[in-house]
Amino acid sequence: MAGLEDLYREVILDHYRSPRNRGELETPPAIMAEGFNPLCGDEIQVYLLVEDGVIAEIRIGGQGCSISQSSASMMSAAVLGRTPDGAREVLRSFKEMMSIHEHGLDGEPISTDDQPGASGLGDLEALRGVVKFPVRIKCATLGWNTLDQVLDQTGT
Amino acid sequence: MSTATLNVTTVKADFPLLGREVNGHPIVYLDSGATSQKPRQVLDALDRYYEEINANIHRGAYLIAEKATTAVEDSRAALAGFVGASAAEEIVFTKNATESINLVAHSWGRTNLSEGDVILLTTLEHHANIVPWQQLAAERGVVIRWIPLDDDGRLDLTDLDQLLDGVRLVAVSAASNVLGTLPPVRRIADAAHAVGALCLVDASQWVPHYPTNVADWDCDFMVFTGHKMCGPTGIGLLWGRRHLLDAMPPFMGGGSMIQNVTFEGFTPADVPTRFEAGTQPIAEIVGLRAAVDYLNAIGMEAIRQHELDLTAYAMRTLTERFGDDLAIHGPHDLENRGGTLSLAYRGIHPHDLSQVLDQHGICVRAGHHCAKPLMKVLGVNATARASLYLYNDESDVDALADGLAAAGDFFAF
Ligand SMILES: Cc1ncc(COP(=O)(O)O)c(C=O)c1O
């Protein structure tokens, strides 16, 4: 049985308690996309300011559960300073980690070269346990799907 | 109707699912507002139907087809009695409350409403009683107005007279699926009639819990859904006044709903068949009848009293244990509310709360409960909702309180 500690890892609770890059940015010059989890009503806004081809600033707004909030907080830290393409790469790795198809339902990676640490996701690895709680995957990916939308607006 | 009190131990034993364990704990099911569990009596009726009389209805001249047809019409009659309808023909079977409301919006609404006509809703409606009207509004230029709530989560009827100006239909829930609020349906129906409007009652959260009588409400349409009242999924109901149904065109076209079909066109059947296109969910109709029989045998008055006592116990227990750490949305006086308890606890997100409760085998709902406009009024995105039913007892409430305490410890920061 998957226990609560599998889901609510310390790093996650830390990001929930003190979320990074919370707030808003003025649009324009920043761009913004809004995401909804239709199941639970969570809402998130992702603001990006792209300067000289890199994400110079990112802010997260909205409300949500510990999983959606901490995931968005970690995401903001992970993509800050990257190019839009670099951010898309992190996004891809993260979504891969979240996809049940790549894992047994117990959340363990199926392929051996997909060990924790190998993904370059850093803190985000803590969210791996979410896969054991399929209903919560939508929470964990809310911010990322919204990032995906806002990246589309960068036109790069 | 039985006046005996409800023996919750006996009742609980009727529900096989309530005997199982979840995450190593006996299940504590507090999500009957979403769907109720089913008693053995209903499950057996479904089995018996398929094992003994399964056949399509109104079509065969052989024995089991006749028996199946009779079972469906007997169910219709039983449901008419259950809700105080004056004739079985006023009962239309649908898939669920959602389809019933869509039926009225399409058939009555598109026939009778045009640009500038007003539909009056309340801010506590379920999306099922909002979106079909918004679709009509977008298509026909119908205007939607909202009865607001007061600070206690009751309808604020102060400006009802002004709100009713130009109104053709008032659509109101008899019981809120979020706040437990019990709006004064009769008063609203009377006010609607005084301006020549009709009144539709969404009784999805009422019929499972209280004696229902459409004549006492004096409403014009009433809808509910079978799966919240111990019946199967896939079966719901529309009751309408006969003369209104008679004047309404079919909603869906197909088999069964016609009197005649030629190359040139069709003549619709009489009500209620006119609204029951295609093969009906026969087993579910039979199962719903078994649910009605089950509830009647216990007695709706006894069920109401049991839930009233349990709701009082729950509100007392939660308030005593958690004080200001816990808020219960909606009315606090028991005359104005049912056993639906939307909770806010120490700022813990409802999703996280329900996750911890799940570890203790406790099923509560976290989310917007298909009432996003109401969430906006409450100023939240979601609530954690515990909803009580006839099979719940004080031990379930105590388990909830223990679970909340555990969640508080886990998220204490
Ligand atoms: C008040 C209310 N109306 C309508 C519905 C819709 O019921 P169904 O989804 O069975 O059509 C529900 C149930 O979720 C409800 O609580």
Contact A136 B372 (CB under 8 A): no
Structure confidence at residue A6 (pLDDT):
81
Q: Is the distance from the beta carbon of residue B98 to the nearest atom of ligand 1 less than 6 Å?
A: yes
How confident is the model over B204-223, as a mean pLDDT?
Answer: 98
Cβ-defined contact of A4 to B349 (cutoff 8 Å)? no
Confidence of residue B141 (pLDDT cuts 50, 70, 90): very high
Closest chain B C-alpha to A3 CA, distance in angstroms:
8
* pLDDT one-digit tens code per residue, B97-130: 999 999 999 999 999 999 999 999 999 999 999 9
Start-to-end CA distance of chain B, whole Å, equals: 52
Contact list, B372 vs chain A (CB under 8 Å) = 41
DSSP B97-135: HHHHHHHIIIIIIHHH--TT-EEEEETT--GGGTHHHHH
Average pLDDT across chain B, whole number:
95
Contact check, Cβ <8 Å, B355/A13: no
> Cα distance from A89 to chain B (closest Cα, Å)?
29
Q: Kindly identify which residue of chain B lies nearest to residue A133, measuring between CA atoms.
A: B355
CA–centroid distance, B29 to ligand 1, in Å, is: 18
- Locate B406 and state its tokens: 């555990």
Q: Report how far residue A7's alpha carbon sits from residue A49's, in angstroms, rounded to the nearest whole number.
A: 32
Beta-ladder partners of B327: B344
Domains in chain B, CATH or no CATH each: 8-30+299-410 (3.90.1150.10), 44-297 (3.40.640.10)
Contact B349 A66 (CB under 8 A): yes
Cis peptide before B232 (omega within 30 of 0): no
**Residue of B23, B359, B381 lying closest to A63 (CB–CB):** B381
CATH of the domain at A41: 3.90.1010.10
Taking a C-beta distance cutoff of 8 angstroms, is the pair B168, B197 a contact? yes
Under the banding of pLDDT at 50, 70 and 90, the label for residue A115 is: very low
Q: If you measure CA to CA, which chain A residue comes closest to B357?
A: A4
> Does the pLDDT of residue B409 top 80, yes or no?
yes
pLDDT (0 to 100) of residue A129: 85
- Hey, which residues of B are catalytic here? 370
Q: Quick one: DSSP state of residue B13?
A: H
Find chain A residues with C-beta within 8 A of B355's C-beta.
4, 7, 133, 136
Residues B344 and B326 sit within 8 Å (Cβ to Cβ): yes
Q: Which residue in B24, B382, B413 is closest to A40 by CB distance?
A: B382
pLDDT score of A1: 55
How many angstroms separate the CA of residue B149 from the nearest CA in chain A? 21
DSSP, collapsed to helix, strand or coil, labels residue B27 as coil
Percentage of the residues of chain A whose pLDDT score is greater than 70: 85
Closest CA to B209 of B390, B76, B65: B390
Indicate the burial class of B26 (C-beta count within 10 angstroms; 0-12, 13-18, 19 or more). Answer: middle
Check if the interface score ipTM surpasses 0.90: no
Residue B56 contacts residue B283 (beta carbons within 8 Å)? no
Dist. CA A66–CA A82, nearest whole Å: 25
Q: What is the DSSP letter of B6?
A: P
Cβ-based contacts under 8 A for chains A and B: 49
In chain B, % helix, strand, coil (3-state, to 5) comes to 45, 20, 35
More confident residue, A12 or B85: B85
Write down the mean pLDDT value for chain A. 84
Gap between the Cα atoms of B253 and B259, Å rounded:
12
Question: Tens digit of pLDDT for each residue in A69-110?
Answer: 999 999 999 999 999 999 999 999 999 888 865 444 444 444
> Hey, is A120 helix, strand or coil?
coil
- The β-bridge relationship of strands B25-26 and B21-22 is antiparallel
Chain B positions touching A133 (Cβ under 8 A) are: 355
Interface test with A, best of B31, B131, B345, B349 (most A CBs within 10 A): B349
Rounded Cα gap, residues A156 and B31, in angstroms: 47
B177 lines ligand 1 (CB under 6 A): yes
User: Which pLDDT belongs to residue A114?
Assistant: 44
For residue B104, the CA-to-ligand 1 centroid distance in Å is 15
Residue of A nearest to B349 (CA): A65
Mean pLDDT within B359-363 = 95
Helices within A4-131 (DSSP H only):
4-7, 10-17, 66-79, 84-98
3-class secondary-structure state, position A58: strand
pLDDT at A31: 95
Position A119 scores a pLDDT of 55
Cα distances from A65 to residues A93, A140, B34, B355, in angstroms, run 23, 9, 21, 11
Place of tokens 């515990």: B386
Q: How many domains, in total, are found in chain A?
A: 1
- Residue A79 to residue A13: CA distance in whole angstroms: 20
The domain in which residue A46 lies consists of 4-152
* Angle, CA B45 vertex, CA B42 and CA B47 arms, to 5°: 115
Of B23, B352, B382, the CB nearest to A66: B352
- CB-side exposure of A105: number of CA atoms within 13 Å? 4
What pLDDT is stored for residue A11 in this prediction?
86
Q: Which residues of B105-125 are buried (b: 16+ CB within 10 A; e: fewer)?
A: bbbbbbeebeeebbbbbbbbb
Q: How far is B408 from chain A (nearest CA, A)?
A: 14
Across the interface, whether the CB atoms of B375 and A133 are under 8 A apart is answered: no
Query: What pLDDT digit, counting tens, does each position of B299-315 carry?
Result: 999 999 999 999 999 99
Task: Report the separation in Å between the CA atom of B203 and the middle of ligand 1, taken as the mean of its atom positions.
Answer: 9
pLDDT of residue B243: 97
- Out of A110-119, B23-32, B285-294, B329-338, pick the least confident: A110-119
Q: What pLDDT does A8 receive?
A: 85
Percentage of chain B modeled with pLDDT above 90: 94
* Mean pLDDT of all residues in B23-39: 97
Whether B372 sits inside 8 A of A13 (CB atoms) is no
Q: Which among A17, A41, A66 has the least Cβ separation from residue B381? A: A41
DSSP E strands, B190-290: 198-202, 221-225, 236-240, 258-261, 266-268
pLDDT, position B411: 83
Question: Quick check: B351 and A42 CB within 8 A?
Answer: yes
Q: Measure CA of the first residue to CA of the last residue in chain A; give whole Å.
A: 44
Ligand 1 atom closest to the Cα of residue B225 is 10
Residue B273: pLDDT band with limits 50, 70, 90: very high
Q: B235 is written with which tokens?
A: 């079966």
Search chain B and give the residue with CA nearest A36: B381
Task: Give the E-state strand segments of A2-148 in sequence order.
Answer: 31-36, 43-51, 54-63
pLDDT of the residue at A98: 87
